[in-house]
Structure 1
């Protein structure tokens, strides 16, 4: 099996790791994580096999929205370090084969940003049209993103007597991308960070970025908002031939395809697959893979260069908004029955291990599935050791807790008093005394060791990132059997969502001259009958990765 050089499409087979510098490692013990701490933990990420590091916002911020309210797009929050410290992290990561991308937050600014301070000072301000103003809010305004904190997407500004739009918090006034000056500024922001060594961006809340219907400041509406997204992709291509735009697009399938750019693939490079994630949890709750299969088979084909980003957990609430009300209640009942575990009526503020009662079989099955799905796996820091959440923290902060390095004070994240930490450390059975990097590094049977194994075999199997996806029929609704085929090579992945063992009958195509099945995770070799028919046992929450190998192929591994 051979594939051509695809280094410029590195994201097709990347392993992405998302972290917040503030909560990863505090090197000067002031209670806030910093770039010096991250630099000293890059070897850990390299050992794990990470190939792309995604940094959550590190820009100067008043902290209303955990860093997503930005006062300077061209700098680093001084609590985290300096531009020099960031560049050193990028250089060190690159030396270890890890690319770095960062959040591109261009929907809005902080209301403390100099642009907005000027804009709200006078209607004649040169920055007035950087934002969206109206004399009265529209009658058909959409629902607030944060219904617990906001009742409207518009805020009245007494000084200038108009309302400004804020799809998120009122402290985050929306930028007006119909203004050419704003679009030029966004290009300068991208160019600045690319010049400092970033390999691309995770683009925050992309659909809101392209929303132009509420603009009424005299700017000419964009006739095709997606043309602007294509412009961003073109600009990225000019500045970096292998740069990536990883977009947050939580929309129905037909609209997701539009954000890829359809068959041309000239808009977002990658998108998070929110629909598959939500159907995964529904399948887990039911122990029935049917919803998950439906989600995977509903993916639009699009361009062969486009890619889906798969995830089990991200840094926000675990949204279930694309499920029906009845389906959402099923997931709530199974994994978040208490009111404090739910948020906004649409999501959960929990991590997977506590949701499944810490069952190591179920946890490992889910992450085996994540790495074997067609697309690119994206991890949220702490998943590799099985961290839990802290439900005493408000909303999304429940899962944005300090990384647990050892069983010592604050999990080894910081020696500062707990009162100075940005977020409370996880407590109880998923706290540092029971879940930490140091103890798992010494244990070959730990979850961390299991993740290292998954990463290694995923990276050795290009079928996962590049292969054509297919589903094999099974008699059990609890078993997903799927194939990934590339250049004549094929991998078969089996996953049992049930607590009962299963026997999976399969019919596989036998290579000319005969073949065998190599178990990629255990190294076991299984005979493949001449007719391709066989039965494979799966334990409770069992999983297997099997490669079909020709007996004549001397390149078996």
Structure 2
């Protein structure tokens, strides 16, 4: 029987270099991560996603890799990775790692050999003798990135880079490159990981659209999945694929391609709904969710290590979200996104932050939480581009928030020392012992989510007849029924759920202070401003 553990998992995303520094060099390390596994375990997550930790010049937060088979010396050694992996497994925590194979750093030995014309590596990258006419189209980082082709003096040709010019694209159409990718996957699977978050999946397969060996782009995903399943049956592939819903099943296949796909379009509708205080953008989107294979799964999230990409919203909708959450130009990025943390966007209002977290956890799929959001960390807009949301984890009110004993200016990124989101005010130590803290609230929410396989396995039914500000979702699976209610408005609402509840007994799962009126054959539920509740519906007898 298939082990579909990811269907009801909660994933916690960690940037190792920003979590905890144990040797005083200002950079987090694997020993520090192992020392803080108790925090992740206590939160209730059961899988850790590690951002890139491989050797790198670190021009793009580790996504410019020079060795796929090692650990950046600043973060420790392979031995430290194995110790961390074993410690995580002892706590029942799985580990997935970033697989970044669309591109490498131009400092990678493969690229250096390719530019010198080495016979083995000559065609491992995408080269052109002439600069293509469309070189200025399709840039991912407008305003920062000028082109997708750069001239290399040593080789005398142009190399392709979908991202920054220091990240040359691998030639996935080359069978030798695909074989090397399997070797990389097999290596980390052998070291105990439970799968991969695959970076930039649509760009990995774009070269395969060219005719040649008969391999279609999506067939390559099947090839990767077959290898993964052969090496470790329960391992997963979680895709970064910001694609329209009508393309989703090209990536899921018949359940033989990707296991999970981040639901970027839903994330954009979620922030539009939060900006409006109106849940209809989410409800209408969920009504149009495509059917996906039973073994497939969406990955839902509020924030991650990148900007909030609003590129699939209409222009006027995007401006609404900008006005609500990123009104200043310094808060926006690449003409499409917002580079702020959740708590800062919501003004530090813990009612609203908790409601947003609860709503995300109640959406169909597997929830993914960005480190620090569970305690309401803020952002540092003085840092460039996406670095603003990658500040060090705030553990204590002491120096550097307990992240490092180094001087603040020597830390990998400057800790937040001033303002309402500084480590003096927002830190894990104080929240661990406060039953009313955001951390404690998130614990309860994750406990509720993991007790609701209906959400992980069932399909959402958007409940009609509710106030516009409310997102009401009903899940049914194997006889279980769960109703989740979220009020996005800053004023109380009353919801008549009689047509959903019927004669069932109503058991609140969060005890969030709601008022349920069962009189006169009605089921009226009153939610406070930014109120929320999860209800288990059970036969009255």
TM bucket, shorter chain: over 0.9
Aligned match of 1:251? 243
1: CA distance, partners of 2:512 / 2:526: 16
Shift of 1:143: 2.0
SS of 1:78's equivalent in the other structure is: coil
Q: 1:540 aligns with which of 515, 529, 533?
A: 529
Matched, 1:414 2:379: no
Contact 1:517–1:526 (8 Å) recurs in 2: no
What do the CA deviations read for 1:49-97 (whole angstroms, capped 9, x no partner)? 1100000000000011110000000000011001111011111101111
Shift of 1:239: 0.7
Aligned match of 1:225? 217
SS of 1:369's equivalent in the other structure is: helix
Matched, 1:47 2:42: yes
Matched, 1:391 2:381: yes
Aligned match of 1:277? 267
Q: Evaluate the alpha carbon distance shift between residue 524 and residue 538 of structure 1 in structure 2; reply closer, same or farther with a 3 A threshold.
A: closer
Q: Evaluate the alpha carbon distance shift between residue 91 and residue 508 of structure 1 in structure 2; reply closer, same or farther with a 3 A threshold.
A: farther
Shift of 1:159: 1.7
2: CA distance, partners of 1:331 / 1:320: 8
Aligned match of 2:229? 237
Matched, 1:36 2:37: no
Q: How does 1:93-108 map to 2 (within 5 A)?
A: 93-108=88-103
Q: Evaluate the alpha carbon distance shift between residue 29 and residue 294 of structure 1 in structure 2; reply closer, same or farther with a 3 A threshold.
A: same
Q: Evaluate the alpha carbon distance shift between residue 486 and residue 436 of structure 1 in structure 2; reply closer, same or farther with a 3 A threshold.
A: same
Contact 1:515–1:528 (8 Å) recurs in 2: no
Shift of 1:469: 1.0
Q: How does 1:300-449 map to 2 (within 5 A)?
A: 300-426=290-416, 427-449=418-440
2: CA distance, partners of 1:496 / 1:434: 28
Matched, 1:60 2:55: yes
Aligned match of 1:555? none
2: CA distance, partners of 1:47 / 1:84: 25
Shift of 1:240: 0.8
Q: Evaluate the alpha carbon distance shift between residue 527 and residue 397 of structure 1 in structure 2; reply closer, same or farther with a 3 A threshold.
A: closer
Contact 1:510–1:532 (8 Å) recurs in 2: no
Aligned match of 1:165? 160
What do the CA deviations read for 1:309-363 (whole angstroms, capped 9, x no partner)? 1100010011111111111111001111011000111000101111121111111
Shift of 1:385: 0.1
Q: Evaluate the alpha carbon distance shift between residue 525 and residue 430 of structure 1 in structure 2; reply closer, same or farther with a 3 A threshold.
A: closer
Unaligned runs of 5+ in 1: 553-557
1: CA distance, partners of 2:8 / 2:443: 16
Aligned match of 2:487? 496
Shift of 1:528: 8.9
Shift of 1:551: 3.3
1: CA distance, partners of 2:212 / 2:64: 27
Choose 469-478 or 341-350, whichever is displaced more. 469-478
2: CA distance, partners of 1:363 / 1:208: 34
Shift of 1:297: 2.0
1: CA distance, partners of 2:516 / 2:332: 48
Contact 2:104–2:169 (8 Å) recurs in 1: yes
Aligned match of 1:73? 68
Shift of 1:524: 8.6
SS of 1:518's equivalent in the other structure is: strand
SS of 2:284's equivalent in the other structure is: helix
Q: How does 1:481-492 map to 2 (within 5 A)?
A: 481-492=472-483
Contact 2:466–2:472 (8 Å) recurs in 1: no
Shift of 1:525: 11
Shift of 1:139: 2.1
What do the CA deviations read for 1:195-215 (whole angstroms, capped 9, x no partner)? 000000000010000011797
2: CA distance, partners of 1:49 / 1:300: 30
What do the CA deviations read for 1:507-530 (whole angstroms, capped 9, x no partner)? 34568xx53100001299998969
Aligned match of 1:149? 144
Q: 2:127 aligns with which of 109, 133, 141?
A: 133
Shift of 1:169: 0.9
Shift of 1:462: 1.1
Q: 2:463 aligns with which of 466, 472, 479?
A: 472
Contact 1:509–1:532 (8 Å) recurs in 2: no
The Cα RMSD (Å) is 1.8
What do the CA deviations read for 1:235-268 (whole angstroms, capped 9, x no partner)? 110011101100001111112221111xx12111
Contact 1:510–1:530 (8 Å) recurs in 2: no
2: CA distance, partners of 1:524 / 1:368: 15
Q: 2:441 aligns with which of 446, 450, 474?
A: 450
2: CA distance, partners of 1:153 / 1:260: 28
1: CA distance, partners of 2:293 / 2:73: 41
1: CA distance, partners of 2:421 / 2:372: 11
1: CA distance, partners of 2:214 / 2:439: 48
Aligned match of 2:105? 110
Contact 1:60–1:71 (8 Å) recurs in 2: yes
Unaligned runs of 5+ in 2: none
Contact 2:493–2:526 (8 Å) recurs in 1: yes
Choose 134-143 or 62-71, whichever is displaced more. 134-143
- Matched residues, number: 539
1: CA distance, partners of 2:91 / 2:521: 42
TM-score for the superposition, normalised by structure 2: 0.96
